Structure 1
Amino acid sequence: MNQLENITIRHELRPGDLGQVVELHGRIYADEHGFGLGFEAYVMDSLLEFYGQYDPQRDKVWIVEDQGKMVGFLLLMHRQDQQAQLRYFILEKPYRGQGLGKKLMQDWMDFYQEKGYKGAYLYTTLGLEPAAKIYEQFGFKKISQMKSKTFGVNILEILFRLENK
């Protein structure tokens, strides 16, 4: 069965969305990567930062829903010096590997270019190779990596950067 037939993507935040993004990340990263409550709290804090500085002219969210249930999320957050940050790219497992991630990345890139950003960056961790492959297909390059215990487990944090040519 095609998991994508009932998918909708909306771009406006509604009450309840931020909590659902935190829940999605907390649950998926605990199940798939063993992350604890520290990661969920990190997502919560940084989503509050995003909301506190949200500017619909410079920021955008992609809320992926299947018949009204959030199954994925992505956002572009403006930063200083005309930089953008890609954050919270997540899809429930049944929706992966069907081209939805690439579609979301293309939409993200289109908005990024439309708004005239000079560069972008994102942080990810080792173990998310399918996502890293998508980032690289869209021109992001791995810049650095460092060991961390930020989320209560040993991880390798990876910084990717996109520079305009």
Structure 2
Amino acid sequence: MNTGLPPDPSGFTLRAPQPGDMGQIVSGQARLYAQEYGWDWTFEALVAEITAQFIRNFQPGHERCWVAERDGQVVGSVFVVRQNAETAKLRMLYVDRSARGLGLGRHLVAHALAFARGANYRRMELWTNDVLVSARRIYEAEGFRLVEEDHHHSFGKDLVGQVWALDW
């Protein structure tokens, strides 16, 4: 059966979160963005808040998280959350350095889009920053378009926040 999804990148398993995964995702993202972009510890607060809200307010059938695992280690994730009845929000796409360049980010986004379509959303939005070039390339390849930009000072840096959207 053709699911419309790209084949799984070799050696990875996508699964639902298990106890302990969310803490690893928060820690992994905080460390990665500190190392790669010089973001400070306030970014960790943001991802911890998003994660806690997802756990507390989880709506089965409308929301989902995929955890990418390889050799027993969490190496990526993506979340879909309900923004409203017609709009899903893609959150916290994350691919660990050890899993870069293997198509995992594209695979995670494809799963998120397939889920959102199957849940009868008509639109998906996401917020990112312009310095996250690799992630933005994935979004553009999937057909997302830039709908808003805003200069802000967050995580110890001057950044350009962006809202991207895809309608179907």
Say whether 1:145 aligns with 2:149: yes
Aligned runs of 1:7-156 on 2, under 5 Å? 7-11=12-16, 13-156=17-160
The one-letter amino acid of 2:15's match is: R
**Percent same amino acid at aligned positions?**
29
How far off its partner does 1:94 sit? 2.7
What is the CA-CA distance between 1:117 and the residue it aligns to?
Answer: 0.2
If the length of structure 2 is used for normalisation, what is the TM-score?
A: 0.90
CA distance in 2, matches of 1:111, 1:26: 26
Secondary structure at 1:149 match in 2: strand
- 1:138 counterpart letter in structure 2: E
Moved over 2 A (4+): none
- CA deviation string 1:34-74 (max 9, x = no partner): 11110000111111111111112111111011111101110
In the superposition, the TM-score normalised over structure 1's length comes to: 0.91
Contact (CA 8 Å) 2:77, 2:108: kept in 1 or not? no
Q: Would you say how many aligned residue pairs link Structure 1 and Structure 2?
A: 160
Q: Which moved more, 1:93-102 or 1:115-124?
A: 93-102
Amino acid in the other structure paired with 1:49 = Q
Q: Which runs of 5+ in 2 are unaligned?
A: 1-8
Q: CA deviation at 1:133?
A: 1.2
Any stretches of 5+ residues in structure 1 without a counterpart?
none
**1:8: how far off?**
1.1
